[in-house]
């Protein structure tokens, strides 16, 4: 690469990704094939429109790529219609809302502070500005309170009920949400971004049979390139989604990313991906158990999926922000996260979110989870002892070097 400045930071980032234990629950490491597709000459091509109906010539190859992406995605999630063009999960959600709602319509969702997502109605996001969002809550133990969802649905009469979360460690009962939506005649939508890889492999029940629209990103547990997808079994809704995505909110699709998505779906259809997803869950259970044994309080007392949420303020008297910085010091990357009914502001927060999708891609196993829990615990124990923190960092490096990246 001729641009030395950018090359320098890519090299540094590669080293960071190689040396650190990556526990950010929404991140992963893609295969060499996906990396190659996303870095390919496909980035040069404009292809506004859809396969066989483009506004540009020369789309013969990208048409085949988008068709392959759509067909593989349909097969993977057993769904009739899919749009693979959204640039991100946020635009996928924007398109889904526009396909189902009018501005100002009411939506019932899990808000960001309860474990939802910015685009699930936060006031600083287009979602909270364009629609009237109401939030359902968690029980004090941290589980979705389905009785409250039903009560609020009947009271508020939203046009849409939304399920899906960014920091919810338990299974979501999509059938229950559908039952409530039907009871009040609301649309039901699921944003399964975090759990897509588990849904693809049957390790989390699929929302496809229940929801009018399912959105997802492709880069979390699904281990594809950064991007979004929208799925539905309803042809009329599908037509609307297509026109909302293009020309409604996007221009030319990112064909290099769509090629990466196509490869991701193919990889996720392989039996080895099921094994991978099972290992994510096994590792997460083990990490949760090991932290609990060392006296850490986990929201809901454990996990069913790829992530866990530690109440670090109650467990060790540090805010999420302080804990995130401390773990960074020893080479463990996590993110601070609000916990349900948090008394601290989001930029400080009382929680830490940890996920096992990325480290499982590197081949970390359950024995490694014991070592990670030990390193985390020692970091809190010796938080003011630089010599000890250096030693813990060495242990982290030993672990990451025993599971090298393949790039
Ligand atoms: N920012 C992502 C996450 O970390 O969960 C969600 O889009």
Which tens digits make up the pLDDT trace of 319-377? 999 999 999 999 999 999 999 999 999 999 999 999 999 999 999 999 999 999 999 99
At 293 the pLDDT is 98
DSSP label at residue 298: B
State the catalytic residue, choosing from 226, 266, 316, 353. 226
Integer Cα distance of 51 and 262 in angstroms: 14
- State if residue 117 touches ligand 1 by the CB under 6 angstroms criterion: yes
Q: Which atom of ligand 1 is nearest to the CA of 335?
A: 4
Residues in the chain predicted with pLDDT less than 70, given as ranges, are none
**Helices and strands (H, E) in the chain, number of each type:** 16, 14
At 111 the pLDDT is 87
At 114 the pLDDT is 87
What are the distances in angstroms from CA 22 to CA 94, 330, 331, 358? 29, 12, 9, 6
**For 237-248, how does the pLDDT look when each residue is reduced to its tens digit (9 = 90+)?**
999 999 999 999
Place of tokens 């995130």: 324
Q: Note the helical H segments in 32-142.
A: 32-38, 60-77, 89-100, 126-130
Contact 246, 48 (CB under 8 A): yes
At 330 the pLDDT is 98
Place of tokens 């979360």: 165
**367 Cα: distance to centroid of ligand 1 (angstroms):** 28
- Location of each CATH 3.90.1150.10 domain in the chain: 271-401
Yes or no: domain 32-268 corresponds to CATH 2.40.240.10:
no
**166 Cα: distance to centroid of ligand 1 (angstroms):** 6
**339 Cα: distance to centroid of ligand 1 (angstroms):** 15
pTM of whole model > 0.95?
A: yes
At 181 the pLDDT is 98
- Location of each CATH 3.40.640.10 domain in the chain: 32-268
Domain 271-401, CATH? 3.90.1150.10
* Contacts for 102 with CB less than 8 Å, ≥ 6 apart: none
Taking CA 355 as the corner, what is the angle to CA 148 and CA 6, rounded to the nearest 5 degrees? Answer: 125
At 113 the pLDDT is 85
- State if residue 90 touches ligand 1 by the CB under 6 angstroms criterion: no
- State if residue 128 touches ligand 1 by the CB under 6 angstroms criterion: no
DSSP 331-399: TEE-EEE--TT-SS-TTT-SEEEEE-HHHHHTT--HHHHHHHHHHHHHHHHTTT-HHHHHHHHHHHHHH
């Amino acid at each position: 690469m001729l641009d030395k400045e950018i090359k320098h930071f890519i090299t540094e980032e590669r080293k960071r990704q190689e040396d650190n234990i990556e526990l950010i629950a929404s991140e992963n490491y893609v295969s060499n094939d996906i990396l190659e597709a996303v870095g390919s000459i496909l980035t040069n091509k404009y292809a506004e429109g859809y396969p066989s109906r483009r506004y540009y010539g020369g789309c013969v190859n990208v048409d085949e790529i988008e068709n392959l992406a759509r067909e593989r995605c349909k097969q993977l999630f057993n769904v009739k219609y899919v749009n693979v063009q959204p640039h991100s999960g946020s635009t996928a959600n924007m398109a889904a809302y526009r396909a189902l709602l009018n501005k100002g319509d009411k939506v019932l969702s899990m808000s960001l502070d309860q474990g939802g997502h910015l685009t699930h109605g936060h006031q600083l996001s287009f979602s909270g500005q364009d629609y009237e969002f109401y939030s359902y809550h968690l029980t004090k133990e941290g589980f979705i309170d389905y009785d409250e969802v039903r009560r609020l649905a009947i009271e508020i009469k939203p046009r849409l009920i939304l399920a899906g979360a960014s920091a919810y460690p338990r299974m979501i009962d999509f059938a229950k949400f559908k039952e409530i939506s039907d009871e009040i005649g609301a649309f039901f939508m699921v944003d399964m971004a975090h759990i897509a890889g588990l849904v693809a492999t049957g390790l989390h029940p699929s929302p496809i049979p229940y929801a009018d629209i399912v959105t997802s990103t492709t880069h979390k547990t699904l281990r594809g390139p950064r991007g979004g997808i929208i799925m539905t079994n309803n042809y009329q809704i599908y037509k609307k989604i297509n026109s909302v995505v293009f020309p409604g909110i996007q221009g030319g699709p990112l064909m290099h990313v769509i090629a990466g998505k196509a490869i991701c779906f193919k990889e996720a259809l392989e039996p080895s991906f099921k094994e991978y997803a099972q290992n994510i869950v096994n590792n997460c259970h083990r990490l949760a158990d090991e932290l609990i044994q060392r006296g850490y309080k986990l929201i809901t007392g454990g996990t069913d999926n790829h992530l866990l949420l530690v109440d670090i303020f109650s467990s060790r008297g540090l805010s999420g922000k302080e804990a995130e910085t401390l773990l960074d010091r020893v080479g463990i990357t996590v993110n601070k996260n609000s916990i349900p009914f948090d008394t601290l502001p989001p930029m400080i927060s009382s929680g830490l979110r940890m996920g096992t999708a990325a480290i499982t891609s590197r081949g970390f196993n359950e024995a490694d989870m014991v070592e990670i829990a030990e390193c985390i615990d020692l970091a809190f124990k010796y938080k003011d002892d630089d010599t000890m923190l250096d030693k813990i960092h060495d242990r982290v490096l030993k672990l990451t070097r025993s599971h090298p990246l393949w790039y």
